Amino acid sequence: MINSKKLLIIAGAVWAIAGINVLIVGARAFTQITGAWWVWLLLAIGAVAVFSVFHLRIFTPYAGKHTNRIAAIEADKSPLWHFLDKKGYIIMAFMIALGASLRLSGLVPDWFIAFFYVGLGAALTACGINMVRGYRRIAA
């Protein structure tokens, strides 16, 4: 059991660690890319676009929902695994399974993994950081 409000720190840490791992996979794929400078520029622009969409449209609202859910917990202590709800665990499992399947299948080229995973990983990491920062708001 853990202080219920600290669940937000756990959630943020899990999302940030997942984001860093995804970012590393994308960065490694970037090292496999060969070509002119403009290829790298296009991939970097793609990474920024992926980051923007996932951070602003998906992860920020999601982090807000979890922050509000955790803030509303009335119990002083909660089980550690309550940092996510059922839907959150389903989404996490789906994202891990889809990402691993795409990479291991070989159906997706390295250039796609490079820009998509860098953008997605950065958005996940930012979401995790925002959740940890949200702890200060709800703990006050």
Q: Output the six-digit token pair for 31.
A: 């090292």
Cα-based angle 121, 125, 131 (whole degrees, multiple of 5): 145
> For residue range 6-25, what is the model confidence (pLDDT) as tens digits?
888 999 999 999 999 999 99
Reported pTM: 0.89
Q: What is the DSSP letter of 4?
A: G
* DSSP result, 41-52: HHHHHHHHHHHH
Position 18 scores a pLDDT of 94
The residue among 138 and 84 whose pLDDT is bigger is 84
Q: What is the mean pLDDT of residues 47-60?
A: 95
Q: What is the mean pLDDT of residues 97-114?
A: 90
The sign of the dihedral angle between the CA atoms of 65, 8, 128, 83 is negative
Looking at residue 28, its pLDDT comes to 94
- 137-to-6, 132, 140 alpha-carbon distances in Å: 12, 10, 6
Q: Is the pLDDT of residue 59 over 70?
A: yes
CA-CA distance, 117 to 26, in Å (whole number)? 5
